[in-house]
Amino acid sequence: MARTVVRYTSHHDVESAFARVTDWERHRVPLTTITTRPDGFTARTAIGPVGFDDPMDVTAWEPPRRVDLVKRGRVVRGRASITVEPHGTGSVVTWDEDVSVIGVPRLLDPVTRRLLGLMVSTVLRRLLA
């Protein structure tokens, strides 16, 4: 599995930062759409009719401090934990994610880790700007 941990210092207070990082539909990633459901959400990555679903279940919900997710897709599996802590008048958000991409050999975990880190950093920067 490829694990990445990204920390982002934000001017938003804990409550606002948590609300922003758990607004799943705002987690825009190129070629991906988000559909929410009561127990989580599904990220669909596609080019035209060809794509895959990445369903994620919320397994812990402790606003405004923590949310844990389990990724249970046919292509991407793993877990993620997002925590928010106070930092002065703002907050620090930590996104810790561990994934495996089915069919991708472990030898390529460093590449997966780098791409995952870039994606997480971009999402946090956009959500917490």
Residues 6+ apart with CB under 8 A from 106: none
Confidence category of residue 84, pLDDT binned at 50, 70, 90 = very high
CATH code, domain carrying 73: 3.30.530.20
- The whole domain housing 76 covers 2-23+56-127
- CB count within 10 Å of CB 111 equals 12
Residue 35 placed within a domain: no
In a domain, 19, yes or no: yes
Query: Based on the structure, what is the number of domains in the chain?
Result: 1
Q: Considering the domain boundaries, does residue 64 fall inside one? A: yes
Does residue 28 lie within any of the structural domains?
no
Q: Is residue 49 part of a domain?
A: no
Expressed in percent and rounded to 5, the helix, strand and coil fractions of the chain are: 25, 50, 20
The chain-wide mean pLDDT, for the chain, equals 96
**pLDDT of 119 above 90:** yes
Over the stretch 25-71, which tens digit does the pLDDT of each residue have? 999 888 899 999 999 999 999 999 999 999 999 999 999 999 999 99
For residue 6, what is the enclosing H or E element?
Answer: strand 2-10
pLDDT band for position 13 (cuts 50, 70, 90): very high
pLDDT at 51: 94
pLDDT, mean of residues 99-112? 95
pLDDT, mean of residues 84-113: 97
- Residue 108 domain-assigned (yes or no): yes
**What pLDDT does 21 receive?**
98
What SS3 string covers 74-119?
CCEEEEEEEEEEEECCEEEEEEEEEEEECCCCHHHHHHHHHHHHHH
Q: Which residue has the higher pLDDT, 30 or 80?
A: 80
- Residue 90 falls within a domain, yes or no? yes
Residue 46 lies in a domain: no
